[in-house]
A and B are shown apart, each in its own frame.
Chain A
Amino acid sequence: MERKTPLYEKHVALGGKVVPFAGYLLPVEYPTGMIAEHMAVRTACGLFDVSHMGEIVLKGPGALASINHIMANNYTSLAIGRVRYSPMCNVDGGVVDDLIIYRTSENGYLVVVNAANCEKDDAHIRANLLPDTEMENISAQVAQLALQGPKSTGILAKLMPAEQIPAKYYSFTEKVTIKGIDCLVSQTGYTGELGYELYCAAADAPALWDILLEAGKDDGLIPCGLGARDTLRLEAAMPLYGHEMDDTVSPLETGLDFAVKMNKEEFIGKAGIEAKGTTRTRIGLKATGRGIIREHQTVFLGDRPLGTTTSGTYCAYLGGSYAMALVENGILRIGDVVDVDVRGRRVAAEVVALPFYKHA
């Protein structure tokens, strides 16, 4: 039985096409449609319900050591008020999940994980905590809204003092009050666009949703569903757990080396990542032939299969069919032309640089 987020009634009232996703009932799109929602985020602003994401609090004098032990990135230099991304690996060097961690106080951290992995992550983190670390899963008490797009800063400025709006990417402000609602606001997101994520108590979420939509209505702000969230992240070539990585893929193979600190003395998966090596690499493809490349399609160079697409769709802002693929390492270069087997038909595609789209 799927759970409802605190905003379920809003989605239904707005005419959203509600579908089960990661154990939750969420809108895939509203009557405006996925393409209009995608374009709104690139040119104006969109509001997403991302309350399905999981939140885990880690605190205590051992919290930093626990995080550095469990995560592939290094959190020693993370300042209070800043956010850092990391893959979390298993001992074999595969990826358990990818997540972001907020440092909220001297010894306090907020870990935000993928909804589909929340239970698995909870168990993995709990089993690997070092001493003097307290852990609490607060996912059910917390709602999360994502306000994404070039107009997002202006919309927030109508609701909160400008100096409280986090000015830098991957920074945040706590105890922001928006019309009486207590929020944490971070400059983060999963669209490749300027944007913010707002965390509040689950009970406050419907009111905050309405306040944001009202504040942005003259700026072109519209509610956006999971469909646009996926096409936006793909256009920005942001990897998605279960697609570009999973329990068997090394974070180095999927291009997350910026967040894997192999010079750390120790972390779970370090030896596994070394042993696994990088036999595969993540590449970007732009279809030059006619067709839409989707996930799980074979990439060929001539007759030689090189790997499989991991995500693919039509990207509305760039106006074309784009895909990511995990392929044999060391063979393809930017500009090479490959074929992708699209349901029995070969569609030509050019290897292009990642990300496909980067905001100004």
Chain B
Amino acid sequence: MNTPNTLKYSKSHEWVKELDGGVVEIGLTDYAQDALGSLVFVNLPEEGDPVTAGETFADVESVKAVSDVYSPVTGEVLEINEDLLDHPEYINEDPYGAWFVRVGNVTEYDELLDAEGYEALCASEE
């Protein structure tokens, strides 16, 4: 399992990357993509949509099941990764490159873990 220590992690298996200007990038962790299996569909919000910390903002579907993706922050969607709509497999191939959304006007963060804390969480879920 790959867990870059430059990122922060939510307990619901999203990663958060801080970009310049208070903007954050959000995606699904390597652990999550591996547990879900081959993804075949992604449903993303639209630019301008509000997102709320701890609430679902997207969903991903594997062959067998659908899973919600939760926002680790409260803010506004500035940009979505349209490539994922046609290529959900990018999430399996490169989970930390396959960002879902970029969020600005961030007013609140969910409780986030560092890489070490996140790996411990995953180990406890095994």
Chain A residues with CB under 8 Å of chain B are 28-29, 33-35, 38, 227, 231, 290-292, 294, 313-314, 316, 321, 343, 345
A28 to B37, CA, bound (A): 11
Q: Are B66 and A314 in contact (CB under 8 A)?
A: no
Specify the chain A residue showing the minimal Cβ separation from B41. Answer: A292
Q: How far is the CA of A280 from the CA of B43 in the complex (A)?
A: 32
User: Which residues does chain A contribute within 8 Å of B105, judged by CB atoms?
Assistant: none
Closest chain A residue to B40 by CB distance? Answer: A314
List chain B positions with a Cβ less than 8 A from chain A.
37-38, 40-41, 43, 59, 61-64, 66, 85
A313 near B43 with CB under 8 A, answer no
Are B85 and A314 in contact, CB atoms less than 8 angstroms apart?
no
Q: Are B37 and A314 in contact (CB under 8 A)?
A: no
* Chain B contact residues, majority secondary structure: strand
Known pairs A29-B37, A33-B38, A35-B38; A231 contacts B43 (CB<8 A): no
Contact present for B61 and A34 (CB under 8 Å): no
Establish whether residues A314 and B61, one from each chain, have CB atoms under 8 Å apart when the complex forms.
Answer: yes
Q: Are the CB atoms of B61 and A292 closer together than 8 Å?
A: yes
Contacts of A292 in B (CB 8 A): 40-41, 61, 66
Rounded to whole angstroms, the CA-CA distance of A292 and B59 in the bound complex is: 11
Task: Tell me the minimal C-beta distance from B46 to chain A in angstroms.
Answer: 13
Chain B proximity of A286: nearest CB distance (Å): 14
A227 touches B43 (CB 8 A): no
Q: Could you tell me the distance between the alpha carbons of A188 and B100 in the complex, rounded to whole angstroms?
A: 44
Query: Which residue of B has the minimal Cβ distance to A316?
Result: B63
**Complex Cα spacing A294 to B66, Å:** 9
Measured between beta carbons, the chain A residues less than 8 angstroms from B63 are 34-35, 38, 227, 231, 313-314, 316
Given contacts A313-B63, A343-B66, contact A290 B37 (CB under 8 A): no
Shortest A16–chain B CB gap in Å is 13
A290 touches B85 (CB 8 A): yes
Q: Are A34 and B64 in contact (CB under 8 A)?
A: yes
State A233–B40 Cα separation when bound (angstroms).
18
Contact in complex: B64, A313 (CB < 8 Å)? yes
Contacts of A343 on B, CB cut-off 8 Å? 59, 66
Which 9 residue pairs are nearest across A and B when measured between Cβ atoms? A314-B40, A35-B38, A292-B61, A34-B63, A292-B41, A33-B38, A314-B63, A227-B64, A33-B37
The 6 sampled A-B contact pairs (Cβ below 8 Å) are A28-B64, A34-B38, A227-B64, A292-B61, A294-B66, A316-B63
- Residues from chain A with Cβ under 8 Å of B85 in the complex: 290
A35 to chain B, nearest CB (A): 5
* Bound CA span A231–B59, Å: 21
Q: A52: shortest Cβ distance to chain B, in Å?
A: 18
Cα-based distance from A227 to B43 in the complex (angstroms): 23
Q: How far is the CA of A314 from the CA of B38 in the complex (A)?
A: 11
- Bound together, the chains give a CA A29 to CA B35 distance in angstroms of 12
CB distance from B56 to the nearest CB of A (A): 11
Other-chain contact of B41, A28, A34, A231, A314 (Cβ < 8 Å): A314
In the complex, what residue of chain A is closest to B59 when comparing beta carbons?
A: A343
Q: Are B41 and A290 in contact (CB under 8 A)?
A: yes
Q: How far is the CA of A28 from the CA of B63 in the complex (A)?
A: 11
